[in-house]
Amino acid sequence: MSEKKGVRLPARRIQNVFVLLLLAIFAGSSILLTAMGAGLYRDTVAHSDRNNSERILAAIVRGAAHSEDAGTAMVERFDEFGIVSLTFINDYDGEIYYRRLFCSDGALRESYTSAEYEFTPDLGDILFPAAAFEPQLDGSLLTARITTMEGTTQEVSVCLRAGGATP
């Protein structure tokens, strides 16, 4: 009887260890799979966010330029605020209006004011989060370097078809 016990005991132990090993493999694989899924989800969302930011910012600049380029476009520098603004000037019944696109406090903003009022960055409406916006005009070609909040920089070119640009 004691000999039998002596033979059976290691075999049962091995079985127990094997079961525990399987359990450990199961637990480890589950964690690995979950971690892979989480990493992939994070990457996909990050890429999606970056793509969205790039496309939305490009669309805002293109939309603004194409809708307002019948007027005069110019690049204004407000050194006191450290802001470079893309400005479209329109004349409505003798009154001059400025539509400005600029980046301030982590967002691309837009202000639409009469020429009588001075430029105040805080009054600009927030359009979309952006880190930097640097417009340039070369003839009728507008080029804007836009940095998204994700840190990617892209260049957006727009041909001002209808109107002209003031360098």
> Rounded to whole angstroms, how far apart are CA atoms 21 and 33?
18
Cα 71 off chain centre by: 29
Q: What does the block give as tokens for 120? A: 């105040």
Q: How far is the CB of 85 from another protein (least distance, A)?
A: 21
Binding of another protein by 16 (CB under 8 A)? yes
Applying CB under 8 A, which part among 78-86, 93-101, 107-115, 134-142 lies near another protein? 134-142
Nearer to another protein, 147 or 154 (CB): 154
Among 35, 123, 132, 141, binds another protein (CB under 8 A): 141
> Rounded to whole angstroms, how far apart are CA atoms 126 and 54?
16
Strand partners, 120: none
Pairing of β 164-166 and β 72-78: parallel
Q: Which amino acid is at 24?
A: A
Q: Hey, which residues between 42 and 71 contact another protein (CB under 8 A)?
A: 43-44, 47-48, 50-51, 54-55, 58, 62
- Using DSSP, state whether 95 is helix, strand or coil: strand
Among 18, 95, 106, 125, binds another protein (CB under 8 A): 18
Binding of another protein by 140 (CB under 8 A)? yes
Q: What does the block give as tokens for 75? A: 């690049």
Among 56, 75, 157, 163, binds another protein (CB under 8 A): 157
Q: Which amino acid is at 84?
A: V
C-beta atoms surrounding 121 within 10 Å: 18
Binding of another protein by 82 (CB under 8 A)? no
Contact residues for another protein, defined by CB under 8 A: 8, 12, 15-16, 18-19, 22-23, 25-26, 29-30, 33, 36-37, 40, 43-44, 47-48, 50-51, 54-55, 58, 62, 139-141, 154-159, 161
